[in-house]
Amino acid sequence: MTTDDIRVCRLHEQGDLRIETLRATPPGPGQVSVAIGAGGICGSDLHYWHHGGIGTIRVREPIILGHEAAGYVVALGEGVSDLAEGDLVAVNPSHPCGECKFCRGDLPNQCLQMRFLGSAMYLPHAQGLFRDRVTIGAAQCHRLPGDVSVAEAACAEPLAVCLHAARLAGPLAGQRVLVTGAGPIGAFVTAIARAEGAAEIVTTDLQDLPLDVARRMGAHRTVNVGADPTGLDEWKRDKGQFDIVFECSAAAPAINQALECLRPRGRLIQIGSGGPTPLSLNQIVGKEIQFHGSFRFDVEFAEAVEAIGTRRIDVRPAITGDWPMDEAEAAFAAAADRTRSVKVHLRFDGR
């Protein structure tokens, strides 16, 4: 491999994950080259690997996975003045078109022509960030304030998802909050609720390790609903006790238990995504529940970078493992195992 070559982690089809070598691309005007240091393995990456797609979206050509990444600026294109070589940056994978009716209507996360890195939605696929180096528009790179690690910086994308959900939920100060599912999203939502002054935060999961992480991220109480199916019963009395639920699991039992725990006119923010799911419409209608979906993010990416850089949100407890890119399959297997992992990163050269 020459100095102009980079390694990439590329999926060819279901279960066929390869480390390959491609030619590096120098930055053009308005672009920078970033040496990736860490990339988080997301549930969507696992879906591509395990199933060859997500729902109706299928991998139809080799795709570089990964959309949660950070690294160091190593080269500047013409006209770039707000970044410098050596800067630690988080890479925003979201590329709305800026022209469609949703972009013009201040809903860029709903863009009709969204190019989201590491996505197989369109053909050609939007190649992702699991690579030694990426050349990308400078505007997609957000410098980290403070002295934080590249692994922390790589958590900006999932934290942005959670900040968007929190914005939709409204003020959290003084509220009683339930978080269902303690994976990375549930852990970060828990931390946001704690940072914003929620009066009570209860986080649930089926595994003990993510619940331990949730406690370290700020949960006042945790419930293993697999080991203790009645563990939420105290919050179901008198038509429900919680003001807000962040539903991060997309599991029908969790959603329906959450509806039982919500007070009348409480808010359920659905972050977890899946296929057709049976819901208790009687609960939603009878208690006038506000059921609100939450999808990706926009300005929240910059807010996530600031929160991580200042450690207003300390993401470190959620990072439970990192693996060199050459051991990508082992890293993916670890990320899929909820008994031993929350957020797993791939490590890259980083310089």
Beta-carbon neighbour count of residue 45 at 10 Å?
A: 27
The pLDDT score that the predictor gives to residue 1 is 47
CATH of the domain at 178: 3.40.50.720
The pLDDT score that the predictor gives to residue 75 is 97
Most distant pair of Cα atoms in the chain: their distance: 68
Residues 176 and 144 in one domain: no
The pLDDT score that the predictor gives to residue 229 is 95
Compute the distance between CA of residue 244 and CA of residue 94 in angstroms, rounded to an integer: 28
Structural domain total, the chain: 2
The pLDDT score that the predictor gives to residue 138 is 98
The pLDDT score that the predictor gives to residue 54 is 92
The pLDDT score that the predictor gives to residue 291 is 97
Domain assignment present for 59? yes
The pLDDT score that the predictor gives to residue 146 is 85
How far does Cα 36 stand from its chain's mean position? 17
Cis peptide before 96 (omega within 30 of 0): no
Domain assignment present for 298? no
Residues 21 and 58 in one domain: yes
- Please say whether the beta carbons of 87 and 93 come within 8 A: no
225-234 burial, b at 16+ Cβ within 10 Å, e below that, comes to: beeeeebbee
CATH of the domain at 133: 3.90.180.10
The pLDDT score that the predictor gives to residue 85 is 97
Residues 175 and 134 in one domain: no
Residues 136 and 176 in one domain: no
What is the 3 state secondary structure string of 56-114? CEECCCCEECCCEEEEEEEEECCCCCCCCCCCEEEECCEECCCCCHHHHCCCHHHCCCC
Q: What is the mean pLDDT of each run of 10 residues along the chain (351 residues)?
A: 81 97 95 98 96 93 98 97 97 97 97 96 96 97 95 98 98 98 98 98 98 98 97 97 98 96 98 92 96 97 98 98 96 96 91 51
Domain assignment present for 300? no
Residues 191 and 245 in one domain: yes
Compute the distance between CA of residue 163 and CA of residue 146 in angstroms, rounded to an integer: 20
Compute the distance between CA of residue 300 and CA of residue 159 in angstroms, rounded to an integer: 8
Domain assignment present for 143? yes
Residues 79 and 177 in one domain: no
The pLDDT score that the predictor gives to residue 55 is 87
The pLDDT score that the predictor gives to residue 349 is 76
Domain assignment present for 309? no
Determine how β-strand 343-347 pairs with β-strand 319-324.
parallel
Residues 27 and 141 in one domain: yes
Domain boundaries, position 241: 161-293
Number of helices followed by number of strands (H, E) in the chain: 10, 20
Residues 150 and 165 in one domain: no
The pLDDT score that the predictor gives to residue 174 is 98
Residues 65 and 125 in one domain: yes
Domain assignment present for 130? yes
- Please say whether the beta carbons of 258 and 250 come within 8 A: no
Q: Where are the alpha helices (DSSP H) in the chain?
A: 43-51, 101-104, 150-153, 156-169, 184-195, 208-217, 252-261, 281-286, 300-309, 328-335
Residue 159, helix vs strand vs coil:
helix
The pLDDT score that the predictor gives to residue 274 is 87
Lookup: tokens for 99: 């022209």
- The amino acid occupying position 62 is P
Domain assignment present for 307? no
Residues 148 and 167 in one domain: no
